[in-house]
Structure 1
């Protein structure tokens, strides 16, 4: 088997961060450049031909459309390059799930694309970044990783972009998958998939768009009143995602305010603020013209709704089909 040629795109994050001390809690993300990082990786003796490119060097709380556009265009070119076998994106953990899902919707599934990060900076005791990176190389270099959409590798697990979510603020085992816990287990020396690829040679589901519709998230809490809706929705708003309590629930006065928006043609998607929040359709959804987010959390539900609206899909039934799709 020939050595895999892998393009590594660096965006910063904790995996490239430093604290200046092995025991400090605070640190600065994105201080290590890609060339320096790949120099450290060389010492691991990985069986891969790695080429690096610095896209950004930020904490992922600052991730946004311009950087997404640069990541997307660079990956697209790599997927068309016969000399490239796979792509790794180093990324901060805070918004990795949103970047992964956005790329999952807008890239074909012909080659492996893997996001990887770390929960501890590079100079901390127990730094997890190098192991996570070595695992990502194992995944990105495996031809069988293609056809599974964009993947996220953390703590010896492989997650699908649609499932993955950051569930803890601390500890290296901070990521979970829902409804699928993970789609594979990986170490620097071994990789085991839980089933066959499910998206073999699939084209991108949506074209990438730099400017996407304004879709805010309404976070439901005890005591919320309808005026929260009117304060959140502006003349630029084209859709709303509700981070509901329980199975996408909300007080009836708030529901009625959203029903008015939906009746006027604005898509409204019910998601859950819970970590494992499966939201099925309820009997009133048809009359209300609401959409159930199914297993997507509010932040991913928002990304999908933006692409649907940008593609001209605004009818609740057609939107619901997209949320039902694996």
Structure 2
């Protein structure tokens, strides 16, 4: 095995350009892999790279075609004895969703690392190349193996199952919940906070042929049941409630969601609050209504897990709850 790192590019702010060091607007995915790696080499990053372009878009537009291509490219890299790790450059808006989807559908072992930036490449104080250098530092460390998919942002290493974007534009926008970061990293140092915990772990889910339509419904004061009816009307196979507090919603909304469960559409309760657990709840009557509690997963990550469960044919609320409990 060599120390070649495969770099899979999807675009995002890390490859963005605004044409001005001080402007607030920019276009994602404007800088190609060759230019980015040339800059990395000019800075003295001496790793061996080979590259594949998956997409050149903002991560708000990442979807099934890009996920399919990305998953297939990582499987190819994992089967190549010349590749020691995979780095995926990715926009930050949906990095946590892509990371979790890959984490749930890939075997542990070879490091797979998502990295992005909060500022475009030509902005003053751009963080992209530092984050990339940090990702290389992680990729080349044998201790990065058997930790599942990782996200490197802001001198911090996060597990895919814990990472979330917690701020819109701060340079340190990413946090981990419930377990916090796995390591601190700079271009010259790497300190893990514990040993690898997923040695030999296989993918929890087979890669699906397609993902079902699952929607996120945000609860708000004074809302009625009509949004639930609308989601069912467009054929949603599952609904994730981004509820108030610990996953609550007005009674009329909960009643409509209960009817959805009775019609065979699973409902997962999560929270619109930035951080915290959503456990099974007596007040909401999870047992009577057939709801699933998202536990530590935020709405967008709960949606990813629910899509994979439904794609694999799991629709029973108790079985879905077990999957959320096992994360």
Shorter-normalised TM range: over 0.9
1:247-304 alpha-carbon deviations (Å, 9 max, x no partner): 0001111111111111232211000011103101113211111100001010110110
Q: Residue 285 of structure 1 corresponds to which residue in structure 2? A: 286
How far did 1:58 drift? 0.6
Q: Distance in 2 between matches of 1:32 and 1:59?
A: 12
1:246 maps onto 2:257 in alignment: no
1:81 maps onto 2:93 in alignment: no
**What is the 5 A alignment of 1:6-85?**
6-85=5-84
Q: Residue 303 of structure 1 corresponds to which residue in structure 2? A: 304
Query: Which stretch shows the higher mean deviation, 10-19 or 256-265?
Result: 256-265
8 Å contact kept, 2:232–2:260: no
Query: Which stretch shows the higher mean deviation, 310-319 or 201-210?
Result: 201-210
> Which segments of 5 or more consecutive residues in structure 1 lack a partner in the other structure?
none
**What is the 5 A alignment of 1:185-264?**
185-234=184-233, 236-264=235-263
The alpha-carbon distance between structure 1 residues 210 and 67, as it changes in their structure 2 partners (threshold 3 A), is: farther
How far did 1:210 drift? 4.6
Q: Distance in 1 between matches of 2:247 and 2:117?
A: 31
Q: Distance in 2 between matches of 1:192 and 1:322?
A: 31
8 Å contact kept, 1:69–1:210: no
**What is the 5 A alignment of 1:93-242?**
93-234=92-233, 236-242=235-241
Q: Distance in 1 between matches of 2:300 and 2:209?
A: 17
8 Å contact kept, 1:38–1:52: no
SS in 2 for 1:38: helix
8 Å contact kept, 2:2–2:82: no
8 Å contact kept, 2:215–2:236: yes
8 Å contact kept, 2:2–2:83: no
8 Å contact kept, 2:208–2:312: no
Q: Distance in 2 between matches of 1:188 and 1:39?
A: 17
RMSD of the TM alignment (CA)? 1.2
Q: Distance in 2 between matches of 1:235 and 1:134?
A: 44
TM-score by length of 2: 0.97
Q: Residue 318 of structure 1 corresponds to which residue in structure 2? A: 319
How far did 1:235 drift? 5.5
The structure 1 segments of at least 4 consecutive aligned residues displaced by more than 4 Å after TM superposition are: none
1:148-197 alpha-carbon deviations (Å, 9 max, x no partner): 11000000000111111111111211111111221111111111111111
TM-score by length of 1: 0.97
SS in 1 for 2:214: coil
Q: Distance in 1 between matches of 2:191 and 2:42?
A: 25
How far did 1:89 drift? 0.2
